[in-house]
Amino acid sequence: MQGVIASFDAARGDGWFLADSGERFYFHCVTIADGTRLINEGVRAVAERSVGRLGRDEVTAVAAL
């Protein structure tokens, strides 16, 4: 799915992905596809929806466009 990085806290290593559908999804820095563990807020990105460790919807394979 496509969307925008709504927020990212580098110190905590997590953030929120806002899908074009309006849904918000949590992501952790280890799921950033390029391996850098950093991504800028406001960047257009793609991600895959998945079920996280706590059974909640999250996104993985987060990649800036």
> Measured between alpha carbons, how far is 62 from 27 in angstroms, rounded to an integer?
8
Confidence of residue 20 (pLDDT cuts 50, 70, 90): very high
> Tell me, what's the pLDDT at 24?
98
Q: If you search the block for the tokens 């899908």, which residue do you land on?
A: 19
Q: What is the pTM of this model?
A: 0.94
Q: What is the CATH number of the domain that holds 58?
A: 2.40.50.140
Q: What is the mean pLDDT of the chain?
A: 96
> Measured between alpha carbons, how far is 7 from 15 in angstroms, rounded to an integer?
5
**For the chain, how many structural domains are there in total?**
1
CA angle, 1 then 39 then 11, to 5°: 125
Share of the chain above pLDDT 90, in %: 95
Per the structure, the complete domain to which residue 58 belongs is given by 2-64
How does pLDDT run across 31-57, given as a tens digit for each residue?
999 999 999 999 999 999 999 888 999
